[in-house]
Amino acid sequence: MIAKDSLQPEWIQKVSAENRQADKMLVEKVIRALLLLEGLAESGVALYL
């Protein structure tokens, strides 16, 4: 489960700084994509990966 506080700007900046200045926009997009995938899985949507 992905914590909701992982979308906070402070958390994203911290993660970026800890990972060789990773692109903050990319970090946020990855988190949002994983939250979407998690939500789909919890709702029972059939996922064919």
pLDDT reported for residue 39: 92
- Does residue 3 have a pLDDT over 80? yes
Convert the pLDDT of each residue in 5-33 to its tens digit.
899 999 999 999 999 999 999 999 999 99
Per residue in 10-41, is it b (16+ CB within 10 Å) or e — as a string?
A: eebeebbeeeeeeeeeebbeebeeebeeeeee
- Does residue 48 have a pLDDT over 90? no
pLDDT reported for residue 49: 67
Report pTM: 0.79
